[in-house]
Structure 1
Amino acid sequence: MGKGYISKPIGFVLLGLSVGAVLTILALSVLYAQEKRKNEVNSIDENGVEMTTNPYSTSEPPKNSEPWDKYRLPDSLRPEYYNVTLWPRLVTDKHGMYIFTGKSGVAFKCAKETNLIIIHSNKLNFTLTSETHHAKLTGSGGTSAPAILKTWFQTGTQFMVIHLKEKLQVGKSYWLYTEFRGELSDDLGGFYRSEYVENGVKKVVATTQMEPTSARKTFPCFDEPSMKAVFHLTLLHPPGTVALANGMELGTESITIDNQEVLLTRFEPTEKMSTYLLAFVVSEFINIQSPPEDNVLIRIWGRREAIENGHGDYALNVTFPILKYYENYYNITYPLPKSDQIALPDFAAGAMENWGLVTYREMSLFYDPKVSSNKDKEWVVTVITHELAHMWFGNLVTMRWWNDLWLNEGFASFVSVLGADYAEPTWNIKDLMVQQQVHSAFEADALVSSHPLSLREYDVITPDQINMLFDDITYNKGAAILRMLSEFLSEPVFAKGLHNYLKENAYNNTVYTDLWKKLQEVVDADSSIQLPASINEIMNRWILQMGFPVVTIDTQTGSISQQHFLIDPEAVDSIMTSDYNYEWFVPITWMKSGSNMGQHWLLTKTASHESMKTDTDWVLANLNVTGFYRVNYDSHNWERLFTQLTSDHTVISVLNRGQIIDDAFNLARAEIINITLALGTTKYLSEEKEYIPWEAAIRNMDNFFLMFDRSEVYGLLQTYMRRKVQPLFDHFKVITSNWTQKPTRYMDQHNQLNAISMACKTGVKGCSELTGMWYRQWMKNPDSSPIPPNLKSTVYCNAIAAGGLEEWNFGWKMFKNSTIAAEAEKLLFGLSCTKEPWLLTRYLEYTTDPNLIRKQDVIFAIVYVAGNVIGQPLAWDFVRAKWEYIIKDYDTRSLFESLIHGVTKKFSTEFELQQLQRFKEDIAASSFNTASYAVEQAIEQTKANFKWVSENKAHVKNWLIEQSV
């Protein structure tokens, strides 16, 4: 799945138990007792299946007596191919519902003797024969099929169960036929509808999102990634619409059904693939395409207005070169005859890698140079490269089960950087990966609520547990670990191992050890590569235990040591046990101020390295942050690094300048170094002009603004940072000729946004006037905005914050009228910046009406409001009041964690902690009790924040006062 779920903040409150008073008291008593034991059972679902509080349990769950009570399919049947015909209705029926009807047949082979057919089905109504027979079974190749005794639905485990009179014969094939009906709802999952308005007319799109477990909402299927099959698809659709699917269209004909003219489109059979990769769309969209090259047709689809205005041109221009880059990188030809990419008005994730028909949010595929920023363009190319990377790694070769999801998503996140760097070589995308992905992974993996990259299969069973894996650890830590592996193996060795892995396992499923095996074979054949242990021994320490190390280097003694880095060191007793005792094989790269460079593998808790010993030189480890670890030094070395930054910071690379700042602040948060030492890394910033160090500083200083925005420390912070950012603001004023030109360097274009944002935040003279002037000019002439596209997000926010009702209403009007998703997203953020509480309350209420704010944007809007110091308590109250509505109606429980994190991230008081604990109890008492995991994380973070503020407030205040003298 694309990155959209993860790169932006994206949850809920209160379901009462519909039981009698006595049962309620008993149930709550049991729930309360069980919540106190993190890894023990806390509830029983309607099928008698025990559920755990911890979504990643540490012991194998009890085995249920009946196969239909288990969440995993039995291994007795294997699908071979499907014939599926679907007819979505793009108008409501007499009951006011949008529906679809379908017919499906699946050919399967019996692998083990059984008298049961268990197949996934969820929220489908079957119309065949009778109440007791919802399917027809026939034999293939002369085989006779047993009679069906009964069929029923096990809703908890989402199965249709067919009980047969006799057992199926091993090695024989059978054909199961069903007819069914489902709702074409707007929940953004399965076969759903998306809506938009064109020329004043509402248009309805029927589209799909199957990953991870929603194919079963569309037709009965063996809905597990290892159950690969070939799919023959046929779509019925209204005249004037076009139908798309994974395969190329074979042809469209007009037919009449019940006196109604419909179009029937058949598609080429797919390659052998998993159900979660299925996709089909019915719409009035149009496309642009390039002439077929190498027998591959590239088409970009979307709303007529967007395509005609050229918003898909950039995607079309980069798609084929990226496909060719990946063909060369993997040394395997793209296996399909076409690559359709389609932009949808409503889409929950950033994009989805469906084989041959990739689906996107509009802002993830469309780019308009007149209004879109560099970050918008960067987002488009990295999402496209992420999805196209999946065509091989994930689609051609697929993880066997969701516990190895990181193999799909971590890999695509890493390789997307290589593809984007190829497509846009002047952007330094590889450097941006450190700031965007590696640092994000560090933050998530430093919590005790983190999880290993690869879990045991029985720890990831339910749809909720599967959904929870689509997180920062899977995507960003997965990418960071693979980047580290590629670095110490070398990229050519890494790429050759990938080729061998893909070639050997094409159209099949794997586990992570299959990748280690193929990489090891390449290493064994190359005598120039010297590793301290096998790839399996090295890498298992990074993927089978959560977290990462902080490496401490003492330049006085030459000693090197490692320890598990936790942002809350007192939480160490709460972490799950590890077979590796939280030790890693750490590839250390380092340099001295004399330019001496070296490499060293740290294989134990402590070691000694004479080259690290020095009384005069500074030592800098983890060059360009290629290793997934943080670095601490003795106080003397820290001071020598600070001296170098102050005298000539350019001697240290841009990436390592950012690393020094980020490591120091996080080491201080973890109480490993003093907070004033971390603040010292910012002293040189008045001389810094580069984006990555400034981005690291702003992100970490934002935590201080977050923690202290309701205390007297806030004013001191503003004063200090105003002095640091003033030279940067002045620098950009000069090189842009008083803000009339765009900076030439790409990284400067990024950093100009930082300069203005921080300048306005800290009260630099002229900043608020600048943003307000641009916004007022736009208000006078809405058809011609003077605001530079790269600066729109900060201009909108600061101008609306400084303004009143008139500015907000204008922003809302432009948001509603915007036909460009990237522009709408900036306004969605800007509207949250108002200082008027009643406007923020109105804005929050708008999120309950999909006609005002699309469902895909609701979580963003709430989190944006929570980022406003005035809006935070309003957003928190809103979430507690509306969570049941959000989680139930939007079917987005997997996004709960992002919402709760966004709304509670500044919690740091005892009262806020008590509110969270009561909120957790409310959720635990509901049928959505698995969502309590997200609140558990928030409680952990709030405790850490409370402790940090109480211990550091006085130190920070005194240090800031000293700097003002």
Structure 2
Amino acid sequence: MLTRVVRPNLLRVMASAKRAFSRLPSTVVPSNYAIHLHPDLEKFTFAGKETISVEVKEAVKEIKLNCLDIEISSASYRSQESASVQAKWTYNKDDELVTLSFAESLRPGPGSLSIDFTGELNDKMKGFYRSKYKSPEGEDRFAAVTQFEPTDARRAFPCWDEPAVKATFDVTLVAPKNRVALSNMDVVEEKDCDSNLKEIRFSRTPIMSTYLLAFVVGEYDYVEDKTSNGVLVRVYTPVGKKEQGRFALEVTLKSLPFYKDYFGIAYPLNKMDLIAISDFAAGAMENWGLVTYRETCLLIDPENSSSMTKQRVAIVVAHELAHQWFGNLVTMEWWTHLWLNEGFASFMEYLVVDKYFPEYRIWDQFVAQDTARALELDALRSSHAIEVPVGHPSEIDEIFDLISYSKGASVIRMLHNWIGDKAFRTGLNHYLEKFSYKNAFTEDLWNSLEWASDKPVERVMRTWTEKMGFPVLTVSEKKEGNTRILEFSQSKFSADGASSDDSYHWLIPVSLSCASKPEEVRAEFLIEEKTKSVKIENVASTDWIKVNPGQFGFYRVKYSSEMLSSLLPGIKSQTLPARDRLGLTSDLFALARAGVSGSVDYLRLVECFSNEEDFNVMSDIGNSLSTFRILLSNIDLDGAFHPFAVKVFEKLGDKLGWDAKEGEGHVDALLRSLVIGKLGYYGHQKTVEEAKERVLDHAKETRVLPADLRVPAYITSLAHGDEAMFDALLGVFRKATLQEERMRVARCLGCVRDPSLIEKTLKFSLSDEVRAQDTVFVITSCCGTKSGRELTWKFLQENFPLLHDRYEGGFLLSRLIKETCQHFASEEKAQEIEAFFKANPAPAAERNVLQACENVRLNAAWIKRDGEAIRDWLTKEK
């Protein structure tokens, strides 16, 4: 357990990490890097030299730095009082270190370390790497770009590559004259080197961590404008596509002033660049002043981008800009506290989008997506705490997951609701002011919020960040006239339904609402005990009581049968607010999946939603039914399940139709796409016929499909189509110049059901037509059917050396392994998966292998427990 008392030990040695690992010595620390880099875009190499201003804290004969895939050609040290002394060097590839050794001890005091080196512009989307793109004339070209988080600055230059070892940076790049060169800061000097090359010198950065440094050399257009307080914003796009940067520019111009006002601190740089990178593993990266993005997370084509993509661009842009304060200005001390960066950015992004795009109803989507997915993962025994000790770089990527992002954001939302917005903002300002340009621990934030709110923030929140999992509140009631006496008990919720360990105990902020005023909070209190009795006065005997209104709390609720029955009329009449209807169905599905209640009971409950028209509620139900479908496909019951699923969506599908109506908005477009996609996949005949006709017309370019309808139409036509349909959509993929459209098609190809077409999709995923950043999503799209899962698992095993080499140490490998393996449903398959990864280890994905196998065993238990009951009920329903 992390406390201030044990900090020094945690800083030096991560004893609980999987591999023995020590932090860099603090005997020598940098204050400034003067870096000169010359990338060669033809040979895919770079030459570099750096002079690092350092402070020698105590006499040493060696200096250790992080260094990986770098060849040093010379290294020397000069103090202020003595001549330069040469170093010898040795590499430790396993620990990603270089040790510079000197004949005599270096005396304490200031000095400078000079290193000349060379490296490769690799093709692994990490460090200083090459990104392939096509010129407007169709020629293959390359850009030199960076991705340093979490630990890949060491692939570009030897450095102290730890977030707590901050410094300033003076960057100089040598680049072809016909290329754009960018870094975190603005250009202070540009001069010719020769007839082909120029040298660009950038102004000094603020003091910051190495993982936030960035540079790009390539061909780009841009659009620009200034914020209300004078910050120059540019959105860089592929040549000829600058208009696709307009929406991201709009979001940025709104977000930066919003954060300035919310945090009470201005954005400290004079420019903000956002740039679309062709090959990029993550969605985006918050480099200070130069944020890098996948094209699909930054570019919007007014004619061909869907409403969901536009919403995603708004969210991702707002997320990365929040990092300019949370992460860049104040940085976590070590990766154990990653959630301070990601959880807060994942919460703040929704505040911005909700303010400027209220039509998105984005907080409802937060509950349906972030909170729901985090609860699902955190119910596993192989989950982890928000704060988890990490050491060696191979362990860090593993925690860039839903726990750090979505659970982190969800508990922050719970905290924000508990202490109120005013105290929250005051506390954040105190925290950011106190730790500007420094590093912080989680308890530093709790102290600031506790000071601002006068509530026991640290005592409460430590129960949420220092242990994995979350509680289920079991609640029953007694009626005494107009008084209700509620009995609560808390226990750890487990996906397998097992009794919880009594050592698990949370301090839970709880609120209640009643039928008479469903939008208002009737009571608020803190549950500190295992059990608690609460008395509520003046509640009509016919009123329902809803626990966790607005779904702010990160917990499940299990009602007594009487309390649940009283809520059902509120579902049918929709007097129960949409977010609460969503929370109710989400909790009941989780309880059924865990075996705490019956699966058939949940399916019966779904029938109560026959009048439901809310996108987020139907999205949650759709996700639950998809889980049932995949589960039941393991026992060949998916076909029997499809007619039931059609009935759930058919009434709404008839009302919505295919074409948008006057007065409809953003959420209506999302709902139509959802419903058509579900009806089509499950085999609703009219929807299938319409989808096929529209897709073929679109492929022939005789009738363009609206962007919002393309994914559901592609899925439907492929799921019920033949090779001709498959080839028609491949043609759409090959003609498209918009990366969003190419990925729309590629991610749908795996919906085919013919085994030969699944094999064709898998082969296509590794072809030159699919970018390495996208291969994983094409492969995992094939896992929706029983035969698809078997073929994909076989494909993964046969191609694992190639895939592991391509994605080693990154989250894409973890995602590939988990999505490929987790939907099986037998002990034999779980053991087969374990045996394969024991023989073919993937250290950065070990937790994902555990989670996949746990899900396989949970699926097997679910089928054994409820399979026959579901079969009988579906047969009678049919």
1:560 equivalenced with 2:488 (yes/no): yes
Between the aligned partners of 2:737 and 2:204, the Cα distance in structure 1 is 35
Partner in structure 2 of residue 757 of structure 1: 677
Q: Which amino acid aligns with 1:588?
A: V
Equivalent residue for 1:802? 720
- 1:287-326 matches, cutoff 5 A: 287-291=222-226, 293-307=228-242, 310-326=243-259
Unaligned runs of 5+ in 2: 1-12, 479-484
Match of 1:429 among 354, 359, 362: 362
2:396 to 450, 466, 477: 466
Amino acid at match of 1:119: L
Look up the match of 1:79: 30
Structure 1 residues 572, 143: closer, same or farther in 2, change over 3 A? farther
SS in 1 for 2:610: helix
CA distances 1:657-713 after superposition (whole Å, capped 9, x unpaired) = 011111001011122223233223211222111111111111111111011124453
1:693 aligns with 2:617: yes
Selected match of 1:629 from 540, 545, 555: 555
Provide the rounded CA distance (Å) in 2 between the counterparts of 1:614 and 1:869.
51
Deviations 1:461-501 (A, max 9, x none): 11111111100100000000110100011112101110111
**Mapped pair 1:679 → 2:614:** no
2:858 matched to 1:944?
Answer: yes
Please say if 1:770 is aligned against 2:770: no
Paired AA for residue 953 in structure 1: G
Contact 2:431–2:444, Cα closer than 8 Å, also in 1: yes
Distance of 1:619 and 1:853 partners within structure 2: 52
Q: 1:115 aligns with which of 61, 70, 75?
A: 61
Q: Does 1:90 align with 2:7?
A: no
Aligned to 1:380: 313
Instruction: Measure the CA separation in 1 of the matches of 2:16 and 2:316.
Output: 37
Give matches, 1:635-674, under 5 Å. 635-646=561-572, 648=573, 650-674=574-598
Q: Structure 1 pair 261/63, CA: closer, same or farther in 2 (3 Å)?
A: closer
Inter-CA distance 282–816: structure 2 relative to 1 (3 Å threshold): same
Q: Specify which of 705, 716, 723 is matched with residue 629 of structure 2.
A: 705
Question: What code does the residue aligned with 2:550 have?
Answer: N
**Letter paired with 2:775:** V
Q: Residue 46 of structure 1 corresponds to which residue in structure 2?
A: none
Partner of 1:746: 666
Q: Deviations over 1:481-531 (max 9, x none)?
A: 11010001111210111011111111000001111111111123xxxxxx4
- Report what 1:136 is aligned to: 76
Q: Could you tell me how far apart the structure 1 residues matched to 2:664 and 2:16 are?
A: 58
Contact 2:699 2:731 in 1 (8 A): no
Q: Deviations over 1:419-477 (max 9, x none)?
A: 1112312211122111121111101111111111113xxx3111111111100100000
Deviation string 1:825-884 (CA, Å, 9 cap, x unpaired) is 1111222222332232122123323x2110000111111112244422111111011111
Instruction: Tell me the CA shift for residue 201 of structure 1.
Output: 1.1
- 2:88 matched to 1:168? no
Superposition pairs of residues 368-447 of structure 1, within 5 angstroms: 368-447=301-380
Letter in 2 for 1:890: Y
Alignment of 1:267-282 (within 5 A): 267-282=202-217
Q: 2:687, 2:856 → 1: CA distance? A: 34
Match among 168, 190, 198 for residue 230 of structure 1: 168
- Give runs of aligned pairs for residues 144-183 of structure 1, distance below 5 A: 147-148=85-86, 150-170=88-108, 172-183=109-120
**Shift, 1:592, TM fit:** 2.5
1:867–1:903 Cα contact (<8 Å) kept: no
Work out whether 1:218 is the aligned partner of 2:185: no
Local SS of the residue matching 1:341 = strand
Distance in 2 (alpha carbons) for counterparts of 1:333 and 1:820: 35
Equivalence for 2:436: 506
Contact 2:251 2:318 in 1 (8 A): no
Q: Paired residue for 2:797?
A: 880
Return the alpha-carbon distance in structure 2 between the equivalents of residues 839 and 703 of structure 1.
Answer: 23
The higher-RCO structure (CA 8 Å, 6+ apart) is: 1
- Measured in 1, the distance between the counterparts of 2:839 and 2:375 equals 31
> Is 1:625–1:655's contact at 8 Å kept on the other side of the alignment?
yes
Residue 133 of structure 2 corresponds to: 196
CA distance in 1, matches of 2:225, 2:250: 8
For the structure 1 residues 153 and 614, does the alpha-carbon distance in structure 2 shift closer, same or farther, using more than 3 Å as the test? farther
Report the secondary structure of 1:566's partner residue: coil
Equivalent position to 2:503, from 581, 594, 613: 581
How far apart, CA to CA, are the structure 1 residues paired with 2:104 and 2:747?
Answer: 61
Structure 1 residue 757 displacement after superposition: 1.4
- The one-letter amino acid of 2:824's match is F
**Distance across 1 between alignment mates of 2:500 and 2:227:** 57
C-alpha distance in structure 1 between counterparts of 2:568 and 2:584, whole Å = 9
Normalised to the residue count of structure 1, the TM-score between the two structures is 0.86
Where does residue 3 of structure 2 map in the other structure? none
Deviation at 1:311, TM superposition (A): 0.7
1:911 has 2:836 as partner: no
Deviations 1:746-803 (A, max 9, x none): 222211112111212333241001111111211222xx65212111111112112333
**Contact 1:448–1:572 (8 Å) recurs in 2:** no
Greater mean alpha carbon deviation, residues 670-679 or residues 724-733: 670-679
State the match for 2:412 in structure 1.
Answer: 482
- Report the secondary structure of 1:163's partner residue: strand
- Residue 259 of structure 2: SS of its match in structure 1? helix
Partner of residue 619 from structure 1, selected from 525, 545, 551: 545
RMSD after superposition: 2.1
Residue 930 of structure 1: CA displacement? 5.1
- The amino acid that maps onto 2:26 is D
Q: What is the CA distance between 1:148 and its match in structure 2?
A: 4.8
Following superposition, the deviation at residue 955 of structure 1 comes to: 1.8
Partner of 2:753: 835
How far residue 61 of structure 1 moved from its aligned partner, in angstroms, is: 6.2
Q: What residue identity is the alignment partner of 2:465?
A: I
* In structure 2, distance between residues paired with 1:618 and 1:425: 29
In 2, Cα distance between equivalents of 1:890 and 1:485: 36
Judge conservation of contact 1:88–1:237 (CA < 8 Å) in 2. Answer: yes
| 83-92 vs 911-920, which moves further | 911-920
CA distance in 2, matches of 1:143, 1:63: 40
Q: State the AA in 2 paired with 1:469.
A: I
Q: In structure 2, do the counterparts of structure 1 residues 742 and 112 end up closer, same or farther at CA, with 3 Å as the change threshold?
A: farther
Q: Is the 8 A contact 2:758 2:782 kept in 1?
A: yes
Match of 2:708 among 765, 790, 797: 790
Q: Which letter maps to 1:567?
A: A
- Structure 1: distance between partners of 2:825 and 2:19: 42
Q: 1:149 to 1:368 in 2, by over 3 A?
A: closer
Counting matched residue pairs gives 855
Q: Mark the runs of 5 or more structure 1 residues left unpaired by the alignment.
A: 1-56, 65-69, 93-97, 129-134, 525-530, 574-579
Q: C-alpha displacement at 1:594, in angstroms?
A: 3.5
Q: 1:607 aligns with which of 529, 532, 542?
A: 532
Matched-pair contact (CA < 8 Å) for 1:109–1:174: yes
Cα distance in structure 2, aligned partners of 1:496 and 1:917: 49
1:779 is aligned, of 689, 694, 699, to 699
Report the CA distance between 1:242 and its aligned residue: 1.3
Residue type of the partner of 2:449? Answer: L
